[in-house]
Amino acid sequence: MTTVYNPAISELSVSEFSTATPTIPANGSLTLTGYAPSLTSGTVPTFGYLDTVISQYANSPIILQLIENFYDYVDQTANMDAFYNLIWNVDTAQGIGLDIWGRIVGVNRVLKVADIPFFGFTGPVTDSGDSFNVDPFFSGTILTSNYALTDDAFRQLIYAKALTNISDGSTKSINQILINLFGDSGNAYVVDNNNMSLVYWFTFTPTPVQQAIIQQSGALPKPTGVAVTFHFS
Domain ranges of the chain: 1-44, 96-232
**Residues of the chain scoring pLDDT < 50:** 1-44, 123-128
Instruction: Find out whether 71 and 53 touch, Cβ atoms under 8 Å.
Output: no
pLDDT at residue number 14: 35
Q: What are the angstrom distances between the C-alpha of 126 and each of 122, 130, 170?
A: 10, 12, 43
Angle, helices 151-165/171-182, rounded to nearest 10 degrees: 180
Instruction: Find out whether 147 and 113 touch, Cβ atoms under 8 Å.
Output: yes
Q: Taking the mean position of all CA atoms in its chain, how far away is CA 96?
A: 13
pLDDT at residue number 1: 42
Angle, helices 96-105/151-165, rounded to nearest 10 degrees: 20
DSSP-derived letter for residue 132 is: T
**Which runs of consecutive H residues, i.e. helices, occur in 11-150?**
14-19, 61-74, 77-83, 96-105
Instruction: Find out whether 109 and 154 touch, Cβ atoms under 8 Å.
Output: yes
String of b and e for 190-222 (b: at least 16 CB within 10 Å)? beeeeeeebebbbeeebebbbbbbbeebbbbbe
pLDDT at residue number 119: 57
Q: Enter the pTM of the model.
A: 0.59
State how far the Cα of 204 lies from the Cα of 210, in Å rounded to an integer. Answer: 11
User: H-helix or E-strand containing 210?
Assistant: helix 208-215
184 backbone dihedrals φ, ψ, rounded to 5°: -85, -10
Q: Which long-range contacts (CB under 8 A, 24 or more apart) does 193-201 make?
A: 196/225, 196/226, 196/227, 197/226, 197/227, 197/228, 197/229, 198/171, 198/223, 198/226, 198/227, 198/228, 198/229, 199/228, 199/229, 199/230, 199/231, 200/228, 200/229, 200/230, 200/231, 201/231
